[in-house]
Amino acid sequence: MNAAPKTLRRLSDLDQAGLAAAGRRAALERVAARYAVAITPAMAALIDHTDPHDPIARQFVPDAAELDTTPEENADPIGDRAHSPVEGIVHRYPDRVLLKLTHVCAVYCRFCFRREMIGPGAESLGPRALDTALGYIADCPEIWEVILTGGDPLVLSPRRLRSAVNRLAAIDHVKVIRAHTRVPVADPARITPALVRALKARGKATYVVLHANHPRELTEAAREACARLIDAGIPMLSQSVLLEGVNDDPQTLGALLRTLVECRIKPYYLHHGDLAPGTAHLRTSIERGQALMRAIHGRLSGLCQPAYVLDIPGGHGKSPVGPNYLSRDEAGNYRVEDFNGALHCYPQKVCLPKT
């Protein structure tokens, strides 16, 4: 009887799967010693071994380029630590906080902005730290939404997840619980009825935000996993990272966004790549991202349009950096560009405040 496929965690696993670059063993060992490696069977099965630039492999298979760090890169590129009042909490915006329940993921993305903080051996939030984190949330009445993150909160057992959700539900001013996850695409079998029930809290709105970057990630099994959540009354959004050689062309990005909508998942964010160490080979330019947003504007349904955002280095939050379609002419009237690139006048006087 054949053993069930296992998650690839060591270079020897990658060797056996034919995923380790020939002649680069020493460099890859240095990469794996610094940054966590895990490729689930679901993701490994999607990799096209005949394509040296396979977009799934680029996301998960270690690359010697990760050893190259540029001067602007930072181990904490979006300033989590500067906004962490207690362990496990990031409070960057007034009405919401991140709650990092675990530092473990089902898969480890090569572009991860928390790559210096997560992986095997990294501690999950212990009972005492969790008590303190929940106490902080309870003591801040302005917190309306709690975002479960990590790591990936859906790697936790249903029992642990249910306990955390129920304790959040007991805080009256918390109205929304949002979970950010890769699990439905990386390990769809984890989305069991018990886990779905664990996410729901009476009297609270629960959302799940799926991280997917390429249309091939939305396999039949992944679609079924997402449907289990949605059919249980949990709305789903998506977030994607703009990655060179993965989704930085209009056809691939458009196919991803349309596939998400077909799965009843609303595209939410398209993130510009963060300045995490060793990720320059996967980052595009902002101009490239803006051009892609222009390419899909008007050509894809409004349901398919995410916000293209940049997380400002240092912890200053996200800002939209999509293209601008509004300018002014010499007379002060507005000029509005349509999706075909044509300019149209919109008179200034209709926008002037009434006196």
Q: What integer pLDDT is reported at residue 333 of this predicted model?
A: 87
Instruction: Retrieve residue 258's tokens.
Output: 């349309």
Instruction: Retrieve residue 30's tokens.
Output: 């240095």
Q: What integer pLDDT is reported at residue 2 of this predicted model?
A: 61
Helix, strand or coil for residue 311? strand
* Whether 105 is catalytic: yes
Helix, strand or coil for residue 158? helix
- Catalytically annotated residue among 35, 54, 63, 92: 92
In terms of C-beta density within 10 A (0-12 exposed, 13-18 middle, 19 or more buried), how is residue 124 classed?
Answer: middle
- Catalytically annotated residue among 35, 54, 100, 112: 112
Q: Distance between terminal CA atoms of the chain?
A: 82
- Catalytically annotated residue among 100, 110, 114, 115: 114
Question: What angle separates helix 127-138 from helix 158-169, to the nearest 10 degrees?
Answer: 30
* Whether 231 is catalytic: no
Specify the DSSP class assigned to residue 186: H
In this structure, which topology does domain 81-320 adopt according to CATH? TIM Barrel (3.20.20)
Residues of the chain with pLDDT under 70: 1-3, 122, 349-355
Whether omega before 119 lies within 30 degrees of 0, making that bond cis, reads: no
- Catalytically annotated residue among 15, 80, 318, 334: 318
Q: What integer pLDDT is reported at residue 3 of this predicted model?
A: 67
Domain boundaries, the chain: 11-67, 81-320, 324-355
- Catalytically annotated residue among 274, 283, 304, 308: 274
> Do the Cβ atoms of 269 and 309 come closer than 8 Å?
yes
Pseudo-torsion of CA 220, 224, 226, 229, nearest 10°?
180
* Whether 13 is catalytic: no
- Catalytically annotated residue among 9, 13, 93, 167: 93
Is residue 49 left, alpha or beta, with left meaning phi > 0 and alpha meaning psi from -120 to 50?
alpha
Specify the DSSP class assigned to residue 121: T
The percent of the chain in helix, strand and coil, each rounded to the nearest 5, is 35, 15, 50
* Whether 92 is catalytic: yes
* Whether 294 is catalytic: no
Place of tokens 């200034």: 348
> Do the Cβ atoms of 32 and 119 come closer than 8 Å?
no
* Whether 351 is catalytic: no
Residues in Cβ contact with 242 at an 8 Å cutoff, skipping those fewer than 6 apart: 248, 253, 270, 271, 272, 273, 284, 288, 289, 292, 308
- Catalytically annotated residue among 100, 109, 182, 269: 109
Q: What integer pLDDT is reported at residue 5 of this predicted model?
A: 86
- Catalytically annotated residue among 35, 63, 105, 248: 105
- Catalytically annotated residue among 30, 96, 264, 266: 96
* Whether 304 is catalytic: no
Q: What integer pLDDT is reported at residue 355 of this predicted model?
A: 55
| pTM confidence score | 0.94
